[in-house]
Amino acid sequence: MRKKIIKASVFLLILIITTSPLYAENIGLVDVEGRLLNEVSAWQSEGSVLLDLRDLFFSLGFDVSWQEETQRLEVDAGEDEYKFRPGKSLVAVNGENLVPFDPPHLHQERLYLEVNAVENFMTEELGKNTTWNPSRSQLQLVEADESEPVDADERSADPVADFLGEMDDEERAEGELLVVIDPGHGGRDPGAIGPNGLMEKEVALDISHRLADRIESEYEQIETHLTREEDVFVSLEDRTRIANELNADMFISIHANGHHSQYARGFEVFTLSGEASDPSAEELAETENSVLKYEGYDADELDDVAWILHQLRATVHTRDSQDLARQMVDLMEDKLPVPNRGVKQAPLWVLKDAQMPAVLVEAGFLSNPQEERRLQSSDYQESVVEAIAKTVYHYLENNH
Amino acid sequence: MKKIAIVTASVVFLLIVVGLVLFWSIEPDPEPELEPVPEEEVTLYYLNEREHNLEAVQKKLPETESRARRVHQIVDELKSSPDEAELSTLLPEDLELYSVFFEGQTVYLDFNDALIGAAEGTTGEFLFLHSIVNSVIDNLPEEQKLVQFLVDGEMRKTIGPYGEESGHIGVKYPLGPEWDIVE
């Protein structure tokens, strides 16, 4: 009972505090031809829509029931049966497989899920492609083979698709290697801001452009690709998604650091720490025992080959990334007039999905006025770039 | 007869005087003393401004049986800087811990939105978050190994101030303590 009260108050808090102009308004579920199938109750606010899962699945013709005792929404979708639980990012499928998923919110015995998460679930689990049309408050079913929604011009721009579109034109030659350079922050996100107003996003973009130029001009066989060419916002997940889709050989994220103390100085190179190298797995490990016990299964008997393979791959990348980082700080120490703070490990969100050696370079502290001046100067930027470019070359030469 | 009256009067008078003297001379009962609240030593992690790292500091907190109460005490105490000049708190003044709950090895800390943007840069965020994680995990029973941060009851990807994708350190999953960054 207490848990229920906590969950209900958490939901109310979400409603009241984080999304204040929030209102209940039904959305329309429309079929391929645009005919209204049913109305689905929803909570809406600017930029966020939470759909009532019971309404939604009922409208799709599934048997839906809310189990008060076990606090589960059971959905019988014909072939498969799903169980959703409030606040849990796992969905039980036919009582055994567990799919990592966004957690639904509980409110008055109804489970609400963000419309994007709903769309992902529909595509991946039910094989139903959908298009969310915010201006009409409609979720439209689209043909499975039809990637374009009916209202194509209302679709939001996809930076990844744009990048990938560009890349198709310039095919990679045989033996050519690709480094994806990721200028941190951008657009509405300035990153850290120095005492004299220098923004992390500017420094990151300057250094990244210089790095790409230097690598391309000095090393013929290495291509570069920037995750952003200008001052635009790119989500953290899209940054590695670009690198993964391009099958890049290396991912380098460029940042400038911040510290509570204005005297902190020096450069450092981060790699992803173990604890977040596979966050979905981390969460699985956290919750699967209790969920499995609930379902009457023994966690020890769960044999998941894909999971083991994923762990192995993550371990290999972790080791490679650390090699790369160590080589990088050594060369930076030779070129830069500031202290070497070494190789560090942290659960950096931008690195978590990288499927290649990946590092995040902190070129200096913007919070330190002296280093802020350095970070702005082309001399310092060129020294940083020279050290990174050399490391990239040596590393790729030895590992390919 | 008159004599008897005078003697009686004198005796009564004397008795009154003696009584009064005795009354004034006796110390009033001392106020019943309050039992001193027993205290326990805890280890909290503050910023060392000279070393730019965390430093462990011993503090005394009122004894409690409740793990949740202990976590509230720790976060409250962590908000004020210790007396040593080179040590300072990394927590913003308006940071408020709404609730604490426990699930398996994870301690869930639900903060107000002062957690968002409380620190800048990879290193700044890392030190800030681990000032809390280290202080909480170090002073709880061994079963508690991880801290899950929540803001207004919700998980966020990072604590970046320009949207949840504007920070560096991932907080959508629980964080364990970091001892390498302690002096």
How far apart CA A64 and CA A57 sit, in angstroms, is 7
Instruction: Give the start-to-end residue ranges of the domains of chain B.
Output: 39-151
Query: Across the interface, do A260 and B119 touch by the CB < 8 Å criterion?
Result: yes
Nearest to A270 among B119, B122, B160 (CB): B122
| Beta carbon pairs, A and B, within 8 Å | 131
Nearest to B104 among A258, A290, A360 (CB): A290
User: What band does A78 get if pLDDT is binned at 50, 70 and 90?
Assistant: confident
Q: Which pLDDT tens digit goes with each residue over B49-70? A: 998 999 999 999 999 999 999 9
Query: Across the interface, do A188 and B113 touch by the CB < 8 Å criterion?
Result: no
Which amino acid, A200?
Answer: E
Interchain CB contact of A366 with B (< 8 Å) = yes
Which chain A residues touch B110 with a CB distance below 8 Å?
10
Q: Which pLDDT tens digit goes with each residue over A105-154? A: 887 778 888 888 888 888 877 888 888 888 888 898 887 654 444 343 33
What per-residue confidence (pLDDT) applies to B30?
60
**Cα A343 to the chain's mean position, in Å?**
23
Nearest to A189 among B110, B151, B162 (CB): B162
Query: Across the interface, do A286 and B104 touch by the CB < 8 Å criterion?
Result: yes
What per-residue confidence (pLDDT) applies to B52?
92
Give me the interface pTM, i.e. the ipTM. 0.79
Helix (H) / strand (E) containing B109 = strand B106-111
Task: Domains for chain A: give ranges and CATH numbers.
Answer: 2-154 (3.30.457.10), 159-399 (3.40.630.40)
Burial of A208 (0-12, 13-18, 19+ CB in 10 A): buried
Instruction: List, in sequence order, the alpha helices (H) in B60-106.
Output: 67-78
| Among A4-13, A373-382, B47-56, B130-139, the least confident range | A4-13
The residue of chain B nearest to residue A268, with distances taken between CA atoms, is: B123
What per-residue confidence (pLDDT) applies to B156?
93
Asked whether residue A341 carries a pLDDT value surpassing 70, the answer given is: yes
Interchain CB contact of A2 with B (< 8 Å) = no
What per-residue confidence (pLDDT) applies to A5?
54
Interchain CB contact of A13 with B (< 8 Å) = yes
Q: Please list, in sequence order, all residues whose beta carbon lies within 8 angstroms of the beta carbon of residue A387, skipping any fewer than 6 positions away.
A: A328, A331, A332, A334, A335, A336
| Among A196-205, A226-235, A282-291, the least confident range | A282-291
pTM of the model: 0.64
What per-residue confidence (pLDDT) applies to A24?
75
Query: Across the interface, do A259 and B124 touch by the CB < 8 Å criterion?
Result: yes
User: What band does A99 get if pLDDT is binned at 50, 70 and 90?
Assistant: low
Query: Across the interface, do B168 and A346 touch by the CB < 8 Å criterion?
Result: yes
Answer for the pair B161, B116: CB distance below 8 angstroms, yes or no. Answer: yes
What per-residue confidence (pLDDT) applies to A126?
83
Q: Which pLDDT tens digit goes with each residue over A272-315? A: 986 543 444 444 444 334 333 333 333 344 444 544 554 566 67
